[in-house]
Structure 1
């Protein structure tokens, strides 16, 4: 992004990294804003999918979260179409209270397509009342990193192989002056991006930025990950998240294999037992030994501090339940580019940046907590804790408003919109008591006619999509799949 936006004629961009520091690389799921990131970089989507063994993602399939045996889908697209100046959700709630179709997923193209293993790119049409199919990607994280490395080096980014041993600060202001590798090379810089993972080499070990711990609300602190052989049959165009006794399990289908992981709290289950439980639930033969990662959910108190910007795990960690990790890297970087100083770094700009970024962290945090807290489960100690734990006032207020008439009170700048809160909160069992009064303006007959038309149009649109496998085979099949 830096090389594409700033160029490397005026700006010298140097990456210091070590091949000895491994990555998880078992499969990574994303959310739709990654399409904009790819467009800014000028990446051909079919080439990107092919080079990363990627598949397409229409949303997340949640199993056993509300209670064992209950499932729901969180789609990327909206439900129905807005009418008379208010959201479709109000009209559906009125119809449901009248005894009509209670399956709100039938009014969403992504949900229907996912259920039929279909996928396709849609084009905006003046004759269609429906929005385009909204999607993201599931890919091999290691191959994605290699793909972007080739892209960056071709545009002038210099890469230095090595581990950083020491950091030097300017004595007068504490800014980072240079880093030195284990073999003695010194790399000076005006600005530093800390991508050193949880250790936070610059942002924490050197600048002591502090850490805001959110584990009381998001208690999972371990993840065991392992790839396995892909299952025979259709490749699902979605990520699956299955609630387990002390956390949840992810399943991310790629073209050549499947990524799996168990996110859990070690206060409720041991690491060995978590590994065994994950291995027992795989769709195919494991391709590597399970790898356990430890983390503390939260964020640095200053993500931009002096002349250091922390990205990725160095900035904080919000567990991968809603696939926001890569998004936060990209959005933190694009926001920095928008606020990047030409010369001197002033406190007002740094403070404004941190306020904006941390507001997004808080919004995502509340959305994640809702998955755990809004539940009927009390069948294990972990789920009993989650159901009865205290929650942030910001989330409590949102849940109270939603319970009244289905409004999630979403601000325009927030990542997760009304449709996302609607899908998850209803899926978790929080059904609003009422709906917006404008939905009562039209007659029952007109309401039924409108909703029948919307549902028929969505059903017809999905019918016209190819299967997910056929789409990949036609446009972007990997050579290794």
Structure 2
């Protein structure tokens, strides 16, 4: 490392900015200077309140105490996501975290289940999911299994207040030497020869120089797009919702340990239970629903008094054509946007930070580093995109919005997955795809996508033995979940927010 500190400048705060600052402050102690520029006058989107289990790896890497984090952010535990009405009105299923059933030898569980269902003795997938059994009972657990050592641990994530999370991480980052600069960014100064960003120009004729710039300025992409004109690839032909309304309401009763995604006529509604409020929102397509109709739909379907006015967001699903362009890396909404259907927004921030640390450049930046970063980012977001499209495409609803989703042409990568599943129940996870075979299995089955057969290995088990095997799984998981702690009692015991 050169004698002169390598300066990384983060443009923008919020969840993306402070997650990045906290991680860089934690791991880059010598030879680096981390600076974050934000303005208190500029609000953040701040509706990303639901996560997936990988967030626990981030907290662990920073050495954060889970209970202290949950207290500070009004957090609750999350065991999965319930999809209400996505296949058709009145039908519900859950994408629960963790495995479904158990494999037998080289035969994945989905083949055993498909064979048993064809034989008329398989129950719905919920019977073979420890997480879903616990979630439906409103119970949670962390640590080793209680009733049998062969039972897998319960994977879980969190619901939390995104603005409180950013505030919590800001304290952490500043305690590790991150320099916060208050000010509105007017524009980026660029090198006339290379086009690299050399400094941020702030109000008051101030300059913040750096070697590497992280764009966390949200949808506007002040550096990655405003300065570098990187370009944006729209995916609205596959993910047609382009607006969202958000409103918090008061809490009442026990907080469910799962997120709810409820299909509506031209989109879907989220419900996210925190300790101090419930996050509510409606994601919708303006081509099928007016803003006034959307607000009426949302407010007619919230259960408790509003805490704030309804906020509206406009967005275009898609991705930046390069997340790393010249010496600017876009993280968070500046890099692209996938709606919060599977709670991936915060995970995409987390994975971008991990990718940045692994491919951290020196002086000068090597093109090979940029190329590999962009390749990985492109693969990740496209595979998540395909998973989200599946929810919309595989439906039996009758409204025009849902009919249009059912009729749309699919990306080749998603079509290939559907063809494999329909042929013989095969699910192939390619490289480091985020969603596992168990996740695809639950959504394919939950949305009613039929497989015409199963792997021959599933036929090697005698029918009575297979029926007994399935019954045993259900009994073990039901007994285990019954010993777990009610969610509200867990919060009260370990991590109740003060005040």
Q: TM-score, normalised by structure 1?
A: 0.97
> Which residue in the other structure is 1:234 paired with?
254
Once the two structures are TM-superposed, the CA of residue 431 in structure 1 deviates from its matched residue by 2.3
Match runs of 1:3-14 below 5 Å: 3-7=25-29, 9-14=30-35
Distance 1:307 1:86 in 2: 47
Out of 422, 433, 445, the residue aligned to residue 464 of structure 2 is 445
Match runs of 1:280-295 below 5 Å: 280-295=300-315
Once the two structures are TM-superposed, the CA of residue 166 in structure 1 deviates from its matched residue by 2.2
Match runs of 1:203-242 below 5 Å: 203-230=224-251, 232-242=252-262
Once the two structures are TM-superposed, the CA of residue 393 in structure 1 deviates from its matched residue by 1.2
> Which residue in the other structure is 1:396 paired with?
415
Once the two structures are TM-superposed, the CA of residue 118 in structure 1 deviates from its matched residue by 0.6
> Which residue in the other structure is 1:25 paired with?
46
8 Å contact kept, 1:410–1:417: yes
> Which residue in the other structure is 1:170 paired with?
191
TM-align CA RMSD: 1.3
> Which residue in the other structure is 2:369 paired with?
349
> Which residue in the other structure is 1:245 paired with?
265
Once the two structures are TM-superposed, the CA of residue 412 in structure 1 deviates from its matched residue by 3.9
8 Å contact kept, 1:80–1:130: no
Indicate whether 1:370 and 2:390 are aligned: yes
Listed one character per residue, the Cα deviations across residues 87-129 of structure 1 (whole Å, up to 9, x for unaligned) are: 1121111111111133111101110111111111131699622
> Which residue in the other structure is 1:180 paired with?
201
Out of 425, 430, 436, the residue aligned to residue 406 of structure 1 is 425
Unaligned runs of 5+ in 1: none
8 Å contact kept, 2:269–2:282: yes
Match runs of 1:292-371 below 5 Å: 292-371=312-391
SS of equivalent to 2:417:
helix
Distance 2:458 2:126 in 1: 19
> Which residue in the other structure is 1:99 paired with?
120
Listed one character per residue, the Cα deviations across residues 64-84 of structure 1 (whole Å, up to 9, x for unaligned) are: 110111110110111112211
SS of equivalent to 2:485:
coil
Listed one character per residue, the Cα deviations across residues 30-67 of structure 1 (whole Å, up to 9, x for unaligned) are: 00100101100001001111110001000101111101
> Which residue in the other structure is 2:108 paired with?
87
How many residue pairs match? The answer is 477
Indicate whether 1:381 and 2:400 are aligned: yes
Indicate whether 1:472 and 2:491 are aligned: yes
SS of equivalent to 2:33:
coil
Out of 417, 420, 424, the residue aligned to residue 443 of structure 2 is 424
8 Å contact kept, 2:146–2:480: no
Kindly report structure 1 stretches of 4+ aligned residues shifted beyond 3 Å. Answer: 24-27, 124-127
